[in-house]
Amino acid sequence: MSVQADGDTEIRADYPHAVRAAVLRSVGGPMVVETIKLKAVGRGDVRVRIEQTGVCHSDLSLATGKLAQNLPAVLGHEACGTVVETGADVTDLTEGQRVILLWITPCRECFPCTHGQPYLCETGSSRSTEPYALTESGEPVYPGLTVGSFAEQTVVPRGAVVAVPNDITTADAALLGCAVTTGVGAAIHTAHVSSGSSVLVIGLGGVGLSVLQGARMAGATTIMAVDRNPDKAEQALAAGATHFLPADDQLKKAVRALTEKRGADFGFDCVGAPPTIRDTWSLTRRGGAVTLVGIGGKDDAVPFSALELFHFARTLRGCVAGSVDAESDMAQFFDWVRSGQLDLRGLVTGHGQLSDVDHVLHELAAGRGVRTLLTPAGKVTL
């Protein structure tokens, strides 16, 4: 491009792809579907048409300001799409290939990446603070959790997608982009749930239900599912729970009765709120493992006494992205879906269009439904 080019010319040249997107302009504000212009595909990038995208609790946290987000932004990070353009250096993907979008893109060079923890990559999510599009009036737009799937298309590096085999449906692939890998990964990769063990899961959204499936696959024999919404019982039992327990004042008694008064071997908090973290901690046995899967707020303090940390000898561990390395672990997830061990259909409680996203977030905030799949680019046949 000529350095003499005026500003407008430059913008048009660098941001050539006009697509419809649900744009969040203010914390707590609505997401309005409008046209944005995506950046040009760089040598190592791919442009992807978003076929289906789930609406995740993290989207809600970003939209409401619980998690920080540069604005204006296009949220959405749990998606399956189709490659429509590849950069010159991308030789292993072609147009028409379906892919899962990843919200962590490991650099493969930093300390965590070279020490077996690529899901903790130091720069894995940094693209969320870099503009990837412009509004029609020229403001920079940021991709929520690096993906920006509440739009017809997005542009991401090649390393931010995983190819989807032909026998995996688009809907299943979309769910593997966040909730399922996080939840199943939390049980299997993070906590290493063991055969014959007892498991307690608090918070039955897409992630919590996936933890139940992971616990079942790991061979846990007592799987206790807890939620404030009793309507979740049926889904919990279908996902592998042996018992559904309402989140009420009888909870402690119920867990003790099912664990010979010890508490669960493995506890999972899938809410990320101080009271549920405390409950998960208290309902896990002495010497047991507590895994925090839900994302809490930075000002939400959780009190622990020094004595109890010592006395109960529990492990308390955070879990980012299910400790999953998508590049190497996704094949296993595809196999679980093929064999029927992993049932993703049960997670989908609704379908919608891009313009439905605010309504879907509202329902999630109220604890209703699990996963609504949006179809930003139109009809999906697979």
- How far is the C-alpha of 216 from the C-alpha of 126, rounded, in Å? 34
302 near Zn ion, judged by CB under 5 A: no
**121 interacts with Zn ion by CB under 5 A:** yes
243-282 positions binding Zn ion, by CB under 5 A: none
**Whose CA is closest to 256, among 230, 237, 277, 284?**
284
175 touching Zn ion, by CB under 5 A = no
Nearer to Zn ion, 295 or 302 (CB): 295
Residue 314 beta carbon to Zn ion: minimum distance, rounded to whole angstroms: 26
CB neighbourhood size of 359 (10 A): 13
- Residue count at the site for Zn ion (CB under 5 A)? 8
- If you count DSSP H runs as helices and E runs as strands, how many of each does the chain have, helices first? 11, 18
Residues 24-63 that bind Zn ion (CB under 5 A): 56, 58
Tokens of 52: 């289906």
Which of these segments, 178-186, 191-199, 250-258, 332-340, binds Zn ion (CB under 5 A)? Answer: 178-186
The answer to the question of residue 295 lying near Zn ion (CB under 5 A) is no
Among 21, 23, 24, 113, binds Zn ion (CB under 5 A): 113
Strands (E) located in 176-307: 198-202, 222-227, 243-246, 264-269, 284-292
Record the tokens describing residue 259, joined without a space.
């664990």
Q: Is residue 110 a contact point for Zn ion (CB under 5 A)?
A: yes
Distance CA 175, CA 183 (A): 11
Q: Using the rule CB under 5 A, give the single segment among 102-110, 155-163, 306-314, 371-379 that binds Zn ion.
A: 102-110
Q: Furthest-apart CA pair in the chain: how many Å?
A: 77
Taking the complex as a whole, how short is the minimal distance between the CB of residue 272 and Zn ion, in angstroms? 12
For Zn ion, the binding residues (CB under 5 A) are: 56, 58, 106-107, 110, 113, 121, 178
